[in-house]
Amino acid sequence: MAISNKIRGFMEKGSWIRKMFEEGIALKQQYGEENVFDLSLGNPVMNPPERFYTELKKISENPINGMHRYMPNAGLTETRSAVAKGLSNETGLSFTSNEIVMTCGAGGALNVVMKTLLDPGEEFVIFAPFFVEYNFYADNHGGSCKVVPPDEDFLPNMEIFRSSINSNTKGVLINSPNNPSGIVYADKTLSEICRIIKEKEVEFGTEIYLVSDEPYRKIIFDNLEYTHIFKYHDRSIVATSHSKDLALPGERIGYIAVNPSCPDIEELVNGLVFCNRTLGFVNAPALIQHLITHLQDTTIDVRVYEKKRDYLYKELTNMGYSLIKPQGAFYMFPKSPIKDDVQFSEELKENKVLVVPGRGFGLPGYFRISYCMEDATIQGSLEGLEKTISKYQ
Ligand SMILES: Cc1ncc(COP(=O)(O)O)c(C=O)c1O
């Protein structure tokens, strides 16, 4: 046996997206690329903004001496300063490079945060539906996740949240805009979450961190304003990346931002920098740090996603699917017309449409559609989506 029983079990539990991806490849070989509509992956087909290529050209024509060397584990000072400036503009708070650690994507950032905070046996509270990797990330660092189910609107059930916090709770992890539901947390939700955290800190005499995983922060629609966590809880940390807002997921670039008002901030940031190093990341990729230093005020064209959302939402509701209109990110999470979301996803697959069952996100009874695809793929999927639901009407 080559691998541990634990990892074998994890691979079985956490492989929905990969499974659909692989089945998609097999289907495409069988029926032809243009006849299979893969809406299973959150891998944007959009290219990075033009300015990214301008910066890339500039640096390749005028390389900076030493730019590929090791650097301080927190990242390049000028990049961290640029990120701090961008965040200060966005939040109205005063960030400096001292509160920023550059990471290998949001996934790297979350692992660094969890490694730094968790003692063995401690927990993070997470909210379903959630990004499937959270459980594995917590396990990487000797911890675990406690899952709070949502109300009908995909917002946390606050009563269950309250009772989920115990003396072992080290953090609460939120994700807004949410993968897979596309829901964006409003002030009311965030303030309620933080009120409960404070109440529980007093009850247990503990310190609980609010960690916000926000790679989709800049992808929000309908002129919504993003509500930042910092004003609600001093012990708060953002983990994010440019995987989605600059369409650079393969470049593995993200950052951690610690609330400037966080108590014991110096020790916390030193811990984060140490873990960035000892997890083997050492530092975030150098070349891409140089580039994003000049791109903090740039985002992909969010209207492209908004148009895709409007189109698909209208089509799906007309077909009879029940779903909440996403406010951000590039996913939809319709209700499965039958209880068994895996069976329904299989039936969609038979009609050449690939989606991910909701149980892959801790919420059976739904399925996730990713619409960061070409319009032709979205349009092509409609026939299969309609045919599959029509059986149940
Ligand atoms: C909610 C959420 N968090 C984290 C990540 C990881 O992002 P990154 O590619 O920046 O590591 C993703 C990627 O899809 C995501 O959807």
What is the distance in A from the centroid of ligand 1 to the CA of 3? 26
* Cα gap 84→227, rounded to integer Å: 17
Task: List residues bridging with 106 in a β-sheet.
Answer: none
Using CB distances shorter than 6 Å, the residues near ligand 1 are: 42, 105-107, 131, 175, 179, 213, 215, 241, 243, 249, 254
Grade residue 19 by pLDDT with cuts at 50, 70 and 90.
confident
d(CA 116, CA 95): 21
The pLDDT of residue 138 is 98
pLDDT of residue 247: 97
Residue 14 has pLDDT above 90, yes or no: no
Half-sphere exposure of 58 (CA within 13 A, CB side): 12
The sheet that has 144-148: what strands, in order across it? 100-103, 254-258, 236-241, 209-213, 169-174, 123-127, 144-148
* Ligand 1 centroid, distance to 254 Cα (angstroms): 10
Secondary structure element (H or E) that encloses residue 331, with its range:
strand 331-332
Indicate the top mutation candidate among 104, 213, 238, 281 to test ligand 1's pocket, ranked by most ligand atoms within 8 A of CB.
213
Ligand 1 mean position, distance from CA 199 (Å):
30
The ranges of the chain annotated as CATH 3.90.1150.10 are 5-48+300-390
**pLDDT for residue 95:** 98
Architecture of domain 5-48+300-390: Alpha-Beta Complex (3.90)
Spacing, Cα 105 to ligand 1 middle (Å): 7
CA distance 189 to 224: 15
- The pair of structure tokens assigned to 77 is 């000072």
Mutation choice for ligand 1 from 40, 175, 183, 241, CB with most ligand atoms inside 8 A: 241
- For 77-102, write each residue's pLDDT tens digit: 999 999 999 999 999 999 999 999 99
Specify which residues 369 forms β-bridges with. 332
The whole-angstrom separation of Cα 379 and Cα 235 is 45
Q: Which residue has the tokens 């005028």?
A: 62
Residue 151 CA, ligand 1 centroid: distance in Å: 24
Q: What ranges in the chain are assigned the alpha helix state H?
A: 5-13, 16-31, 50-61, 77-91, 105-117, 133-140, 158-164, 187-204, 265-278, 286-292, 302-319, 341-350, 375-390
Look at residue 190 and give its three-state secondary structure: helix
**DSSP-assigned states of every residue in 8-48:** HHHHHHT-HHHHHHHHHHHHHHHH-GGG-EE-------SPP
* CA gap 330, 347 in Å, rounded: 23
∠ CA 165-171-284, nearest 5°, is 165
Q: How far is the CA of 209 from the centre of ligand 1 (A)?
A: 20
Find the helix or strand (DSSP H, E) in which 173 lies: strand 169-174
In whole angstroms, give the CA distance from residue 386 to residue 381. Answer: 9
Mean predicted lDDT score pLDDT of the chain: 96
C-beta separation of 118 from 126 below 8 A:
no
- Residue 391: count other Cβ atoms within 10 Å of its Cβ: 11
Q: How far, in Å, from the CA of 135 to the mean position of ligand 1? A: 14
**Looking at the chain, which residues constitute the CATH 3.40.640.10 domain(s)?**
64-292
Q: What percent of the chain has pLDDT over 90?
A: 90
Q: What is the pLDDT of residue 303?
A: 97
67 alpha carbon – ligand 1 mean position (Å)? 27
Q: What is the pLDDT of residues 341-391, one digit of tens each?
A: 999 999 999 999 999 999 999 999 999 999 999 999 999 999 999 999 999
Q: Specify the ligand 1 atom closest to the Cα of 107.
A: 11
Ligand 1 pocket, mutate which of 17, 112, 126, 131 (most atoms under 8 A from CB): 131
Distance CA 12, CA 387 (A): 30
- Residue in the structure block whose two tokens are 């990120």: 83
Find the largest Cα–Cα distance for the chain.
66
Tell me the backbone φ, ψ of residue 93, rounded to 5 degrees. -95, 175
| Closest ligand 1 atom, residue 213 Cα | 3
CATH class of residue range 64-292: alpha beta
Q: Cα 29 to the chain's mean position, in Å?
A: 31
Query: How far apart are the C-alpha atoms of 383 and 131, rounded to whole Å?
Result: 28
DSSP secondary structure string, 149-162?
PB-TTSSB-HHHHH
DSSP state of 272: H
Q: At 95, phi and psi to the nearest 5?
A: -90, 145
- Expressed in angstroms, the distance from the first to the final Cα of the chain is 48
46-67 pLDDT tens trace:
999 999 999 999 999 999 999 9
Average pLDDT rounded to a whole number, residues 118-122: 97
Average pLDDT over residues 176-189: 97
SS3 state of residue 357: strand
pLDDT score for 393: 87
Ligand 1 atom with minimal separation from the 131 CA: 1
Q: What is the pTM of this model?
A: 0.96
